[in-house]
Structure formats: structure tokens, C-alpha cells
Chains A and B, each alone.
Chain A
Amino acid sequence: MTSHPGDHAHIQALMPWVLNGQADATQQAEVAQHLSHCPACREEMARQRQLQAALQLPAPSAPDAERGLDRLMQRIELASAAPAPAPAAASRPARTSRLSLALAACVALQAVAIAVLAPRAWHAPNDEYRLLSQAVPLVKAQLRVLPAPQLSLAEWQALLQSEQLQVVAGPNALGAYALGTTTPKVDMPALLARLRSRADLRLVEPLAEDAP
């Protein structure tokens, strides 16, 4: 598109900016002057004005603002009470590595705690023995879940087992857990949908990998 002042194409390309208020005074005058003697461009201007009016109709099927805000506040509340990741943390790579370290520490701590507090209760499945010095498989915290008070321990354990989830950290002050899945390629949206459909889980949030 080659355009010179006074060209129809040039004038029509200026129209969006005249309509949205971004055109400067010179451009506005240029368009007005051209429109005064060009019916075709007047028609184009009317069409673009029509487009602008149509685009400013309120969005159909918009979600409810207050409910959305409640969810956001819950998410923030949960994050501030849970061990990771902290809001207002530094850049992403630093946070990721710090998170990994924190999680590794949590898992290691759990292993030690189990060994110290309940040695007799610990049965390795299939009679396999795992030495404490052996590496503990790391499960990454992927979601945060707040069980409802009515959820029994047995139901909680059954849920974790059936969804192949493990507790990575928690419960925090609010009673929320950070969970990770042991399934290598989990369908996270489907998992979230299943968990969110349960009445006995009050909140299910993915642990975001931060900004896109």
C-alpha cells in the first residue's frame, strides 16, 4: 500500500486513529478535509464508525466479577499461607530453583521424619526395602488443594491413590496441601476438572509456572 496525503487509501488508514482518538490534529484535519469532498470515504468512515460502535457492545456471556475476585483472593490467601511459591518473589529462574530446593528439602525432611517417628509402621510395598541413603524420587508440587472438613482420612487417602497424587507439602495454616502427581504425563486440565467437581474439596488450584 503506497499512500500519499490525500489518497483514499491513506485517508482510510487514518480513520481508525481518528475514531479512537489517537490521531493528531494534523491528521484529523487531513481526514476531515478529504471527507468534505469524497462520498466514498465518507461511506467508509461511517462503516468504521459502525464497527467501533458494534465492538463497544458489552461482551456476551461475561463471567461474574465478584465471584472471580473472590477466587483470586482465595488463591492469594492460600499462596501466602502455603510454603511455596511466595508472591512478589524474584525472577522466574531463581524462583524455580529455589522452589525445587525447597521441595527437595521437604521430601528429604519427610523421609527423615518417617524414619525417626514411625520406623515400625513403615512397610515398603512388595517387601522391597528402600534404604534411607537411597535417592527418594522427587515429586514436583503441581497443585494446591484444600479439603473440606467432611473429607475423612480414608477418603483423602483413596483420592490420592486413585489420582496417583502425593502430598509434597502441607497442611498449612489453612489446611491446604501441595500435591504432585506420580503420573509422568498427566492431563492436568482433566485432573483439575475431576478434582474441582468434588464437593469434598473446597479449593483446587494449579501451582502456576508463573507468567507466560
Chain B
Amino acid sequence: MSFIPRPDEVDQQLLQAMAGGDRQALATLYRAYHPRLCQFLSRLTRRADLMDEIINDCFWIAWQKAGSFRGDSRVSTWIIGIAYRCGLKALRREGGSELDSLDADADAAPPSTLVDTPDEQRELRDWLDKGLQRLTWDQRVVVELVYAGGHSLDEVAAITQAPVGTLKSRLFHARLKLRNLLPELAGDTLPRKEAQP
């Protein structure tokens, strides 16, 4: 599932309609962002009930604050920023254990079509799970927002309220960890095999 950037004007119009109490606009925005938020939140938690609650809180706030959106950022940045803060709040309330690590998910639903075969997908997901487990949750968030979300560094800073320098450092260390931890896995599917240390 690759997220094609949504035209910001469309989202802005939806927010304007929401500010005027248009629930149909809210439903449209909700449906449009649900898959993306699920994917983003899956870097913070594997619990579907918690994701559901966070998304509910996120759109509850978006509904209330739609009128105060001033267009300082893209709507997508604004919404994901709200989801991020709702997510941290929910996870801290749950005791924060989810923030430390993600348990490998044995019961994962079979994903849809991106890679050719289910086997390849499973392999890719296993590879990712092993890698992401070694990252801190804030490194996972940056990796997700940059590689999957397609956000710029400034947008990631707006979402996470973290300084750009800190984010650069998180991304750098995440790349380093993934490279050191995943060479043999990557080597299986890449044309060239890197020399093992």
C-alpha cells in the first residue's frame, strides 16, 4: 500500500466543511486517512483496539478543531500530528509498555498485493519486524514517516514536535542499526551480498 499524496486543497475543503458541522466531510476524511493512520500507528502498537481508540480520539479532535486550522502545514501533517499525540497519550496511559517494543505478530492478517507472492510478503514482513524491533519507538516513528509517509524533515518535525537535528540523528542511527542487523536478510533478496563482519 503506497500512499499517493492527497491533494491538499481537497483536504482543506473537507476541513472547512467540517468546521461548519458537515459530518459527511468528516466521514470522507476519516475513510481517506484510516489506512494511513493504521499503518503509522502500527509502529507504536499492534493492538487493533488501541489503534481504533487513537483514531477515534484523533478525529474527535480534528472535528472540534477543524475551524482553527490555518493552513500552516499540509492537512495530512496536521492530522498525523494529532494522531501521534493521541497515540503517545494512549500508550502512556496503558503503562507505556507498548512504547518499548513491538511483539512479533503471529496472527497477522495476510496483506494485500504489493509483492508478487504471499511468501515474499511474509519474508519481507519478517525481515521488517526483526529490524524494527531493534529500533527505539521514536526511531521507528521517524523511519515510518519518512520512508512510508513520504514526509519531509520539516513535516516530521511538525508532527513529532522534535528538533530537526534530533530527527536527523534518529534517522541516521535507525539506518545504521538496520544495516548492521539485517545484512543477511537483505542479502537473501538483494542481487549483491555484503561481506559479513
Q: Kindly name the residue among A21, A42, A51, A53 whose own CB sees the greatest number of chain B CB atoms within 10 A.
A: A51
Within 8 Å of chain A (Cβ to Cβ): is B88? yes
Q: Which residues of B contact A69 (CB under 8 A)?
A: 27, 30-31, 34
Residues of B within 8 A of A (CB-CB), count: 77
From residue 26 to 52 of chain A, which have CB atoms closer than 8 A to chain B?
39, 42-44, 46-48, 50-52
* B190 and A58 within 8 A (CB): no
Within 8 Å of chain A (Cβ to Cβ): is B11? no
Size bracket, chain A contacts: 35 or more
Within 8 Å of chain B (Cβ to Cβ): is A135? no
Which of A13, A54, A68 is close to B55, meaning CB atoms less than 8 Å apart? Answer: A68
Bound together, the chains give a CA A71 to CA B26 distance in angstroms of 13
Contact string against B for A residues 118-136, beta-carbon threshold 8 Å, 1 for contact and 0 otherwise? 0000000000000000000
Q: Is the interface of A mostly helix, strand, loop or mixed?
A: helix
* B152 and A61 within 8 A (CB): no
Q: Which residues of A contact B182 (CB under 8 A)?
A: 47
Q: Which residues of A contact B10 (CB under 8 A)?
A: none
Q: Which residues of B contact A65 (CB under 8 A)?
A: 30-31, 34-35
* A60 and B111 within 8 A (CB): yes
Within 8 Å of chain A (Cβ to Cβ): is B191? yes
Bound together, the chains give a CA A47 to CA B182 distance in angstroms of 9
Min Cβ gap B176→A in Å is: 10
Which of B19, B108, B115 is close to A53, meaning CB atoms less than 8 Å apart? Answer: B115
Within 8 Å of chain B (Cβ to Cβ): is A88? yes
Bound together, the chains give a CA A159 to CA B44 distance in angstroms of 35
Q: Which residues of A contact B42 (CB under 8 A)?
A: 59-62
Within 8 Å of chain B (Cβ to Cβ): is A75? yes
Bound together, the chains give a CA A55 to CA B42 distance in angstroms of 10
Q: Given A16-B146, A51-B147, A65-B30 in contact, is the A89-B64 Cβ separation under 8 Å?
A: yes
Bound together, the chains give a CA A202 to CA B94 distance in angstroms of 24
* A50 and B186 within 8 A (CB): yes
Bound together, the chains give a CA A47 to CA B187 distance in angstroms of 9
* A76 and B128 within 8 A (CB): no
Within 8 Å of chain A (Cβ to Cβ): is B179? yes
Min Cβ gap A158→B in Å is: 28
Within 8 Å of chain A (Cβ to Cβ): is B136? no
* A51 and B38 within 8 A (CB): no
From residue 44 to 103 of chain A, which have CB atoms closer than 8 A to chain B?
44, 46-48, 50-65, 67-69, 71-73, 75-76, 87-89
Bound together, the chains give a CA A53 to CA B148 distance in angstroms of 8
* Residue of A with least CB distance to B152: A22
From residue 121 to 174 of chain B, which have CB atoms closer than 8 A to chain A?
121, 124-125, 127-128, 131, 143-144, 146-153, 168, 171-172
Within 8 Å of chain B (Cβ to Cβ): is A1? yes
* B148 and A56 within 8 A (CB): yes
Min Cβ gap B97→A in Å is: 13
11 example contacts (A-B, Cβ-Cβ < 8 A) are as follows: A13-B168, A16-B146, A20-B149, A20-B150, A47-B178, A51-B128, A54-B124, A54-B128, A58-B112, A71-B56, A72-B30
* For the complex of A and B, 4 pairs with smallest distance between CB atoms: A60-B108, A63-B52, A54-B128, A59-B42
17 other A-B residue contacts (CB within 8 Å) besides A57-B115, A65-B34, A72-B26:
A20-B151, A22-B150, A22-B151, A43-B190, A46-B186, A54-B124, A55-B144, A58-B112, A59-B51, A60-B125, A61-B48, A62-B35, A63-B38, A63-B52, A65-B30, A69-B31, A189-B93
Which residues of A does B touch, CB under 8 Å? 1, 12-13, 16-17, 19-22, 39, 42-44, 46-48, 50-65, 67-69, 71-73, 75-76, 87-89, 189, 208, 210-212
